[in-house]
Amino acid sequence: MEGRESAVQPPVYIYSPEYVSLCDSIMSKVPNRASMVHSLIEAYGLLREMRIVKPKMASMEEMASFHTDAYLQHLQKVSQEGDDDDPESIEFGLGYDCPTAEGIFDYAAAVGGATITAAQCLMDGKCKVAINWPGGWHHAKKDEASGFCYLNDAVLGILRLRQKYDRVLYIDLDLHHGDGVEDAFSFTSKVMTVSLHKFSPGFFPGTGDVLDVGLGKGRYYSVNVPLQDGIQDEKYYQVCEGVLKEVYRAFNPEAVVLQLGADTIAGDPMCSFNMTPEGISKCLKYVLQWQLATLILGGGGYHLANTARCWTYLTGVILGRMLPSEIPDHEFFTEYGPDYVLEITPSCRPDRNEPQKIQEILDAIKGNLKHVM
């Protein structure tokens, strides 16, 4: 069935050379990552199986559907001046974790616009799955940058989807808690946010305990799955499937936004979880079998070659394609040494997640979801 589905309507892949080079140049934390991801997807011959859609830039009005005018105007100002020491910047979260640079506003508008473009393709019935790998910047708040996120494209995408779909489910599989998205929708029952993430003292952003369930009308519509270092594919998938089964039954979503940050993967400098793309792919397949309008975003991922490996493998999964192990020759081939294969091997690190603790978390979530009407 899945093969026939995708044959009828290929996934939309948001891309233009200008978009990728903008992401490459501004993202000093992940230089050239957008190009590496796109080049590997292209090298495996996956582009011809997707519908390539050029992203539009987000307008000021579209960005202001979530962000405050004061924040957007300040971001635009420092972006034009390339000014790193504007005294007002600190109150807008700009500085240490979110350095300002010339062109940062255009980059933010490009990523926000790309995610909105993907959402619109889903709403227009052009596809069932739309992919924006350079998106997924889930920490940005309405009036401040945070955790290297200047604009919350995930929130903008959800808000666009809400113009057509009554209930939108946001699932965040990044290593870090999807705090910006959760905050944006913590008071509403129309958007449920689900985040699996590392939760330990001193680890950014420090939120996302299982007890954080949303507020007011949105109480019990925020679902947090706090995990510890060393988790591997099998246990992670068991947790993810256990949570998503309950979430789907309770919330009955009409559309899904799925953030697939690759900083959970073995070898990432974050050195926390011990996953491989195969484990993430099982979670992805579980979501895809619902056959809902699904918007796919990237996120973290600081081992650049492994991030490209991961998102290329997942693109193959969306297309129902098993990719050959050997990395094809392409512009960034030398980055994939010394083995030059697509697979990633888990590290030898202990799994700090005790089965009893995991069970307690799952039981708590199941209990909370009983309140969802």
341: DSSP letter: B
d(CA 196, CA 236): 9
Short-list 319, 225, 231, 328, CA closest to 280: 231
Helix extents (H) in the chain: 2-8, 17-26, 33-43, 60-63, 69-81, 104-123, 153-161, 179-184, 233-251, 277-288, 304-318, 355-369
Q: Judge whether 265 and 311 are in contact, CB under 8 Å.
A: no
Output the CA torsion 298→300→302→304 (10° steps): 0
Helix (H) or strand (E) holding 85: none
* Token pair 């600081």: residue: 302
Instruction: Report the catalytic residues.
Output: 139
Query: Collapsing DSSP states into helix, strand and coil, what is residue 112?
Result: helix
